[in-house]
Amino acid sequence: MSFSTLARRDFILALGATTLASTAVPVWAIDDVFGVSLLPAEKLRFGYAAITWDGNDVQAIKDISELGFPGIQLRSNILKEYGERPEALRALLEQNKLEMVALSSGGVSITPDKEADEIAKHIRNAKFVKAVGGRYLQVTDSARPKDRKPEIADFKQLGRLLTEIGKGASDLGVPVGYHNHMASLGEAPDEVDRIMEASDPRYVKLELDIAHYQQGGGDPAWAIRKYRDRLLFLHIKDVENLDAKDPRGRAYRFVELGRGRVDLPAVFKALKEVKFQGWAVIELDSITDKSRTAKECAQISMKYLEEKLGLKI
């Protein structure tokens, strides 16, 4: 090895160490320092979901931007104000230096006489995502039977509808992610498996919600490894047990990161192992302590990521 090669290598190593010390790049984002590049083109990116603001999306955009998040997830309620003028929402996001990671498009119904309307609705929402400059369309389902156990036919029908939605959205350049969710057809891990098996992997990816997966009886770190090639993005949240059921009959509630029973270090270890390079959207469905604001709840989760896991937004 020549002196010039050694000098170049030492310079690159020193530069890499300086860069890593001064940026918020996760430890696992480091490439082989003897390779062509020190850092990959992309890394794990954190967004935050506007759901905690309970419909006050303009305030959510302002707060999430001020906290330093580069991305936001919005719900379909945003369509009431911006559905006919996506350019206005795009401008608002640009002003606040935010990217729309995803739009929560709502649940897919498998009622036979509503299939065409369901497909059209979600593809219309994908067009909105495209117009705003967003990335993904998130769908869940409203197909879980209330008077019987889910049957194979239910999963097959949902898988077929998701595939049709995915095809239409794909033509627009908007990938579709299925969101596993309690009280949906994709509640338990084996049910998520069936939906994934029933849908075309070319058009339907998995938007893994780690807290819903935990509450449904699964291990989210295991799910990350299992679906490593089909992960679109993730919801990062926590869940705790309740001593008594809430008014909706639930014996659990979603909480800020680090306050529940999701093994978050194991989740991020799994993301490192599968070399996931994409979006992780932190989410809290509602404020758990009414003395706090939605922004303060987000700060609690940020503090956990930074102080307990050594990650930066």
Domain layout of the chain by residue ranges: 1-41, 44-308
Instruction: Single out the residue of 155, 232, 138 nearest to residue 192, CA to CA.
Output: 155
Q: What is the pLDDT of residues 32-90, one digit of tens each?
A: 332 222 333 348 999 999 999 999 999 999 999 999 999 999 999 999 999 999 999 99
Q: How far apart are the C-alpha atoms of 229 and 224, rounded to whole Å? A: 9
Mean pLDDT computed over 194-213? 98
pLDDT tens-digit profile of 9-18? 444 344 444 4
**Average of pLDDT values for 158-186?**
98
Contact criterion met (CB below 8 Å) for 167 and 192:
no
Q: Are 23 and 5 in contact (CB under 8 A)?
A: no
Q: d(Cα 67, Cα 44) in Å, to the nearest integer?
A: 17
Tokens of 242: 């309740």
Burial 134-165 (b: 16+ CB within 10 A, else e): bbbbbbbbebbeeeeebeeebbbbbbebbbbb
0.85 surpassed by pTM: yes
| pLDDT above 80: residue 1 | no
Query: What's the pLDDT score for residue 43?
Result: 86
Supply 278's token pair.
């994409």
Alpha carbon distance, N-terminus to C-terminus of the chain: 40
Question: In angstroms, rounded to a whole number, what is the distance separating the alpha carbons of residues 141 and 109?
Answer: 6
Percent of the chain with pLDDT over 90: 85
Tell me the one-letter amino acid at 168: G
Instruction: Tell me the one-letter amino acid at 238.
Output: D
| CATH number for region 44-308 | 3.20.20.150
Residue identified by tokens 């469905």 is 285
Mean pLDDT value across the chain: 89
CB atoms within 10 A of CB 126: 27
Task: Look at residue 25 and tell me whether its pLDDT is greater than 60.
Answer: no
The H-or-E segment that residue 60 falls in is helix 57-66
d(CA 27, CA 196): 31
DSSP assignment letter at 17: H
Matching residue, tokens 């003028």: 85
Q: For 87-117, what is each residue's pLDDT tens digit?
A: 999 999 999 999 999 999 999 999 999 999 9
Buried b (16+ CB within 10 A) or exposed e, 194-205: bbbebbeeebbb
Q: Give the span between the Cα atoms of 211 and 260, in whole angstroms.
A: 9
149's tokens: 């156990």
* Tens digits of residue pLDDT in 263-304: 999 999 999 999 999 999 999 999 999 999 999 999 999 999
